[in-house]
Amino acid sequence: MVMSMPTPQPVADASVPLVPLSDGGPRRVTILGSTGSVGCNTIDLIQRQPDAFTVEALTAYGNVSALAEQARQTGAKLAVIGDPALYDDLKEALAGSDVEAAAGPGALVEAAARPSDRVVAAIVGAAGLEPTLAAVRRGAVVALANKECLVCAGELMTKEVADHGATLLPVDSEHNAIFQVFDFDRADAVERIILTASGGPFRTFDLEAMATVTREQAVAHPNWDMGAKISVDSATMMNKGLELIEAYHLFPVPAERIEILVHPQSVVHSLVGYVDGSVLAQLGSPDMRTPIAYSLGWPDRVAAPAPRLDLASLGQLTFYAPDSERFPALRLARQSLQSGGSTPTILNAANEVAVGGFLQSRIGFLDIARIVEATLDRVPNRAFTTLDDMRGVDAEARRVAETYLN
């Protein structure tokens, strides 16, 4: 599912002032995956504050018309379509503009390597790894909305970040919340971090009911407006399992001290517990423009039009422990993190194949976790030190998972 691009409206509310950036701006922004949910919301924010941000490059995989429209509206210097067969279509769609057109995987990497002040890495899945690494290797500030980069190649990615002096700013609402309240200067005072989860659309379903859910039900998230793949991951709670692995690589906290808590209202986005008993949380309405705005503005804060949180009207916030029997993806993700090596890569690859099969109506909803577990059992865990090693494991896991779709 591809979101239509929101119609930009100036932030006119006097209670939400447009605060100038401390570095003077405007900041040049590259968006990898601009036609997806995160990309569209990023463009919405940028167009509301044209004095603060300009667009260097935009990329998409196959949505030529949306990409060309975005490039024209934002005055982007470059637009890249990932599917090389669509280059002529993109060139035609941009005719008469000053936007440069390019296509193919290599062009995606080149777009990420171009000079910009901020790179929003929002390509869904393992396909986003190489362009994100290209941005990291030039020491960029990367607003990371692609959790698979850290799930598939966490140690490789964090080493590259350290080697090249890059900065990772998490865009996922949960990790962004933790980033805002985590005391990095006194990390030894952190006792635990708590990732909150909405529980998805089937949090109250029993296994019998879950066995019959449809694609349309699975992509209809109760709180967030997301693409199809991420929505299905939320419904299986694999999304939270992947976020568990991502959190392990983002924050200096042992895996056993990263907890998951179901919070259906999606208002408390995550929490950090300290050794003195204090628990700090970041709260807000469930609107992705808040964490995106934080990542665009950091270390400043910039205006975002998200609905303001009204706790009195909410009345109550509820929390409960997740059920790993009905949602085995959580168990599989934690076991993969504990096993280390290539296991998280296998987990992610098998999940992408299984979710694709479900969205094509080739398998049932409960088969997603079963295929992931079966693939983990068949593909051996091995250590890898290079991206080529990771690609080999990823490809093998996808081949094995594909056999279960048949």
Residue 143 lies in a domain: yes
Q: What CATH number should be reported for the domain holding residue 117?
A: 3.40.50.720
pLDDT at residue 8 is higher than 80: no
* CB burial of residue 380 (10 Å; 0-12, 13-18, 19+): exposed
Residue 292 lies in a domain: yes
pLDDT at residue 21, as a whole number:
83
Over residues 75-124, the pLDDT tens digits come to 999 999 999 999 999 999 999 999 999 999 999 999 999 999 999 999 98
Instruction: List CB contacts of 340: < 8 A, sequence separation 6 or more.
Output: 381
Lowest mean pLDDT among 13-17, 171-175, 201-205, 319-323: 13-17
Over residues 213-260, the pLDDT tens digits come to 999 999 886 666 667 888 899 999 999 999 999 999 999 999 999 999
pLDDT at residue 6, as a whole number:
37
pLDDT at residue 297, as a whole number:
96
pLDDT at residue 384, as a whole number:
87
pLDDT at residue 17, as a whole number:
56
Nearest to 249 by CA among 323, 349, 346, 179: 179
pLDDT at residue 275 is higher than 60: yes
Give dist(CA 137, CA 118) in Å, integer. Answer: 13
The 3-state secondary structure of 258-298 reads: EEEEECCCCCEEEEEEECCCCEEEEECCCCCHHHHHHHHHC
Show the domain range for 131.
27-171+288-305
Residue 96 lies in a domain: yes
Over residues 364-406, the pLDDT tens digits come to 999 999 999 999 999 999 988 888 999 999 999 999 999 999 8
pTM: 0.90
pLDDT at residue 20, as a whole number:
72
- As a whole-number percent, the residues of the chain with pLDDT over 90 amount to 86
Residue 33 lies in a domain: yes
Please state the rounded mean pLDDT for residues 183-190: 97
pLDDT at residue 280, as a whole number:
98
From residue 82, alpha-carbon distances to 35, 102, 109, 263 in Å are 12, 9, 10, 37
Over residues 136-183, the pLDDT tens digits come to 999 999 999 988 899 999 999 999 999 999 999 999 999 999 999 999
**Cβ atoms 118, 296 nearer than 8 A:** yes
pLDDT at residue 1, as a whole number:
29
Determine the angle formed by the axes of helices 387-405 and 367-378, rounding to 10 degrees.
130
Kindly indicate the confidence band of residue 328, based on its pLDDT and cuts at 50, 70 and 90. very high
Residue 243 lies in a domain: no
Instruction: List CB contacts of 136: < 8 A, sequence separation 6 or more.
Output: 142, 157, 160, 161, 164, 166, 168
How many CA atoms within 13 Å lie on the side-chain side of 41? 26
pLDDT at residue 3, as a whole number:
33
Mean pLDDT of the chain: 92
Residue 32 lies in a domain: yes
If one counts the domains in the chain, the total is 1
Over residues 27-74, the pLDDT tens digits come to 999 999 999 999 999 999 999 999 999 999 999 999 999 999 999 999
Residue 11 lies in a domain: no
Residue 148 lies in a domain: yes
Give dist(CA 172, CA 282) in Å, integer. Answer: 13
